[in-house]
Structure 1
Amino acid sequence: MFAVYAESFSPDDPLSALRLGERPEPEPAEDWAVVTVRAAALNHHDLWSLRGVGLREEYLPMILGCDAAGYDEDGNEVVVHAVVGSADWTGDETLDPGRTLLSERYQGTLAEKVAVPRSNLVPKPKSLSFEEAACLPTAWLTAYRMLFTQAQLKPGDSVLVQGAGGGVATALIALARAAGLRVFATSRDEAKRRRALELGAHEALASGERLPVRVDAVMETVGRATWSHSIRSLRPGGTLVISGATSGANPDDAELTRIFFKQLRVLGSTMGSRRELAQLLDFLDVTGVRPVIHDTMPLERARDGFAAMAEGELFGKIVFTR
């Protein structure tokens, strides 16, 4: 079957490690299912895998990709949950110390077919296209958990989304606005600020610009470049939820004095559970909110999609189709 995969690592030039070609079809273990992939979304995780981050050499060659939507063996339309937990784990799988993502230990979704635990399949609402559904299991699920599970935001609350433009950030803006939150967004890029307003942000500001009010929560995915601004933007008792650090993990000032003096909560967030993915699908089905798709292209053009992500000029998701 045709697939997009890594057979080596290249920390400085990840695209040089990218391979497109034939790979063996999956042979599912007991209680696993094979999904015929109709659409699969690209994530930064895939670029990091090509650099050798999160993917060990003994698992090469590895088909890349975490997100997919397609048909199960019975012809049902399904969305694939990317978190694979330990066989004996019960409860929230994101807290399982032995958890992994598709394309780390098990072959990923950028292929004609993918094998996953049967329990990882979630029914796809008819109202969502395969392309839209494929955007959800990583970026949109991460955003959903940040807003509603970790920050526990409710209608009328205010939230700041740092770094508008990426897959998680666009999901945060759209979900927050649909949930009745007052949404602020930041970006260094004026065009991305305009897009954030079109997506539902009430105000879009330049990175580091002072907000007109202190917010109830900040959604942080940028890290070092925005950390101090995030802490300073919170009201006393507010919450900062962090799920990534694309600009670096070591801030110049951790702002510890402000954190304890203002009694702030700082929470980490990683992906989401299968239950939260089902809730997210229901949320989109009911509200009509849809993922922002930067571009859709056939899987055979995967190298173009990876190059666009590496250049960092995306607003929304890149989706590959079969």
Structure 2
Amino acid sequence: MLAAVLHGMNQEISLEERPSLIPAPDHTVVSVQFAAMNHRDLWIQKGQYAGLKYPIILGSDGMGTVEGKQVIILPGMDWGDHEAYQSRTYRILGLPDDGTFAEEVLVPTGNLFPKPDHLSDEEAAALPLAGLTAYRATFVKAQVQPGESVLITGIGGGVATLAMQMALAAGANVYVTSGSSEKIEQAMRMGAQGGVNYQDESWPQALKKMSGGIHKIVDGAAGRSLGLAIECLLPGGIAVNYGGTTGPIEIIPQRLFWNQVTLKGTTMGSKSDFAAMLSFVGKHKIHPVIAGVFPLNKINEAFAFLKSTAQFGKVVLAIPSL
């Protein structure tokens, strides 16, 4: 099989022929049709991820076929028995297990779900990791309700964009942040009530003025910006964080305890979260936004596009058929 292999830190991806995969007990070989990229893949390439090992086939997201039937892959493995948190042996496809940037991938049979009928193959590949993370953050942790004002930070990223789409489908009033006015405008065309550019130092004041205050925050940046976003929360509000791209959270403690604010962490989600996410996406006919599709032999160009932060939505890889 053809596979995109990373051999070491800060190296380009190389295309190589690998032996075809052999099914293992309780595991199934999926013929991959499309895969999708995440910033996790970039962090592994840069050596900024725990448990690094090389060589590795990256890729957490994908869809393909098993015995002629199209399937979508749950990328998280061995969540465990507790819905509230993952087990110590929880892991994500693409490290340490070889991932979806190949013609075949071996996954636990229980991680395969029918591809949603309303999605194209490219959209189905783009959904799993970002959709699962967004769903758990938005509904399990933030408990977003109709009519609430919800702030989604860093719009344009895969998780943020799907979180916005889900919150809108649930009847929330969504506001966004971005360093790009164009991305804010695109979010508003998709239904967001408004947005602020976080490069403007007065953005918290502008957000409070346009929204009247925020009930819930879904954030993947952390850093100083999350602390500023929390200043926009109404008393009793909830902030949920799923990532730390800008570093340690900087919060004035009084903003939390005096306003009875709750700060929650979340990552990925359980198998039941994934099933609930697929049901919600199917019910509301949500389509992941595709920023670009690259053939597998252009994977290094796809990585460069993802690094540029120019994209709005997900970057997808087309996998050649065997």
Give the TM-score category using the shorter length: over 0.9
Indicate if the aligned counterparts of 2:12 and 2:300 stay in contact, CA closer than 8 A. Answer: no
**Cα deviation, residue 307, structure 1:** 0.4
Residue 31 of structure 2: aligned partner: 36
Matched, 1:195 2:186: yes
Partner amino acid, structure 1, of 2:276? Q
Indicate if the aligned counterparts of 2:175 and 2:192 stay in contact, CA closer than 8 A. Answer: yes
Q: Percent identity?
A: 36
Residue 46 of structure 1: aligned partner: 41
**Cα deviation, residue 93, structure 1:** 8.8
Residues 200-253 of structure 1: CA deviation (Å, up to 9, x unaligned)? 2111222234222111111111111412221101111100000011122x24x4
Matched, 1:301 2:294: no
Residues 58-103 of structure 1: CA deviation (Å, up to 9, x unaligned)? x42110000001112x3221110111117xx334395111101111
**Cα deviation, residue 18, structure 1:** 2.2
Matched, 1:62 2:70: no
Query: For this pair of structures, how many residues does the alignment match?
Result: 311
Partner amino acid, structure 2, of 1:21? E
Indicate if the aligned counterparts of 2:4 and 2:15 stay in contact, CA closer than 8 A. Answer: yes
Q: Which runs of 4+ in 1 moved over 4 A?
A: none
CA distance in 1, matches of 2:120, 2:270: 22
Indicate if the aligned counterparts of 1:82 and 1:102 stay in contact, CA closer than 8 A. Answer: yes
**Cα deviation, residue 53, structure 1:** 2.9
CA distance in 2, matches of 1:307, 1:125: 30
SS of residue matched to 1:95: coil
Residues 130-186 of structure 1: CA deviation (Å, up to 9, x unaligned)? 111111111121111111001111111110011111111111111111110010111
CA distance in 2, matches of 1:291, 1:71: 20
CA distance in 1, matches of 2:229, 2:40: 24
**Cα deviation, residue 276, structure 1:** 1.8
**Cα deviation, residue 19, structure 1:** 2.0
Matched, 1:126 2:117: yes
Runs of 5+ consecutive residues of structure 2 not aligned to the other structure: none
Partner amino acid, structure 2, of 1:294? A
Matched, 1:184 2:175: yes
Residue 82 of structure 1: aligned partner: 75
CA distance in 2, matches of 1:90, 1:306: 35
Indicate if the aligned counterparts of 2:204 and 2:231 stay in contact, CA closer than 8 A. Answer: no
Residue 214 of structure 1: aligned partner: 213
CA distance in 2, matches of 1:123, 1:69: 10
SS of residue matched to 1:169: helix
SS of residue matched to 1:226: helix
Residue 130 of structure 2: aligned partner: 139
Residue 91 of structure 2: aligned partner: 100
Residue 226 of structure 2: aligned partner: 227
SS of residue matched to 2:44: helix
**Cα deviation, residue 129, structure 1:** 1.4
CA distance in 1, matches of 2:48, 2:34: 25
Matched, 1:5 2:5: yes
Residue 13 of structure 1: aligned partner: none
SS of residue matched to 1:78: strand
Residue range with higher mean Cα deviation, 48-57 or 192-201: 48-57
Residue 240 of structure 1: aligned partner: 239
Structure 2 CA distance for partners of 1:296 and 1:114, relative to 1, 3 Å? same
Indicate if the aligned counterparts of 2:204 and 2:232 stay in contact, CA closer than 8 A. Answer: no
Structure 2 CA distance for partners of 1:168 and 1:316, relative to 1, 3 Å? same
CA distance in 2, matches of 1:304, 1:121: 29
Residue 267 of structure 2: aligned partner: 270
SS of residue matched to 2:15: strand
CA distance in 2, matches of 1:140, 1:214: 26
CA distance in 2, matches of 1:38, 1:148: 30
Residue 155 of structure 2: aligned partner: 164
Q: CA RMSD in A?
A: 1.6
**Cα deviation, residue 192, structure 1:** 0.8
